[in-house]
Amino acid sequence: MALRVAPEVEPELDEIWSYLATESGDADVADRLINSITDRFFVLSRHPYLGRRRDYDLRLGLRSLSVGGYVIIHRIEGSDVLILHVLHGRRDLKTMLRQ
């Protein structure tokens, strides 16, 4: 399957990187997490049904995959996997996805 990434994802990843680099005081820590998250994007392109169905608690057709404390929200569109968001797992996902 082809991999597509929504425009919202880049600023979300930048925010995650900035927060981790600041809190840990180590840019390498932030780099490793971002690399781990983006590596999972490619795993999802090969195994799109990996992760949890979120039809009933978030929105029909959404799936999620956890990476550390973060959640990749994605959906399958035809022959593509579309990465919609990368959010911290403790955030209120329902509210975040309504915005």
In terms of phi and psi (left: phi > 0; alpha: psi -120 to 50; beta: otherwise), the region of 86 is: beta
Domain parsing of the chain, residue ranges? 2-98
May I ask the CATH architecture of the domain 2-98? 2-Layer Sandwich (3.30)
Residues near 23 by Cβ (< 8 Å), separated by ≥ 6?
none
CA dihedral 42→43→46→49, nearest 10 degrees, is: -120
Q: What is the pLDDT of residue 37?
A: 97
Mean pLDDT over the full length of the chain: 91
**CA gyration radius, the chain:** 13
pTM score, two decimals? 0.90
Rounded to an integer, the average pLDDT of 23-48 is 95
